[in-house]
Copies of this chain bind each other. A is one copy, B any other.
Amino acid sequence: MSSGFRTFNPSQNTWNKEEYFPTSETALAEKLNILSLAQSIYSKLSAASRADFLKAIHTALEARKENIKGFYLKESGLSNNRFETEWTRTLSTIQLFEQYLRNQYRFEKTEKFISDSIQIQKVTLPIGPVLVLGSSNFPLAYSTAGGDTIAAFAAGCCVFVKAHAMHAGTSIQVAECIEEARKIVNLPEGIFTHVLDDGFQHAQRLCLDERIQAIGFTGSFKGGKALMDLAYSRDTPIPVFAEMGSVNPVVIDQDLSIEQQKIAAKKLASSICTDAGQFCTKPGLIFIPNGPSGENFTKVLKEFVAETNAVPMLHPTIHLNFENGKKEIASISHLKFSNSPNIQIGIEGRWAIAETNVPNLLKNKRLKEEVFGPFTLLVNYTNKEELLIGLEALSGQLTGSIFYDNQSELVTDCIEILTRKVGRIILNDVPTGVRVTESMHHGGPFPASSDSRFTAVGPDSISRFQKYVSIQQKNIS
Contact = CB atoms under 8 A, between A and B. Distances in A.
A29 interface: no
Nearest to A404: B476
Given A111-B439, A420-B128, A438-B109, A429 B472 contact: yes
Contacts of A470: 423-425, 439-442
A435 interface: yes
Most buried by B among A122, A239, A470: A470
A266 to B, nearest CB: 12
Interface residues of A, number: 74
A189 interface: no
Contacts of A260: 476-477
A117 to B, nearest CB: 10
A447 interface: yes
A472 B232 contact: no
Contacts of A423: 468-470
Interface string A197-234: 00000000000000000000000000000001000100
B453 A469 contact: no
A153 B335 CA distance: 45
A345 interface: no
Interface in A41-61: 43
A311 interface: no
Interface string A422-464: 1111111100000101111111011100111101000010011
Contacts of A264: 476
A440 B118 contact: no
A439 to B, nearest CB: 4
Most buried by B among A120, A440, A476: A476
A125 interface: yes
Contacts of A404: 476
A222 B467 CA distance: 24
Nearest to A441: B470
Contact of A473 (B118, B427, B440, B441): B427
A40 interface: yes
B477 A419 contact: no
Interface in A389-427: 395-396, 403-405, 415-416, 418-420, 422-427
Contacts of A425: 469-472
Nearest to A261: B476
Contact of A469 (B123, B395, B422, B468): B422
A188 interface: no
Contact of A476 (B428, B475, B476): B428
Contacts of A471: 415, 424-425, 427
Nearest to A416: B40
Given A111-B438, A440-B120, A395 B236 contact: yes
A435 B113 CA distance: 10
A272 interface: no
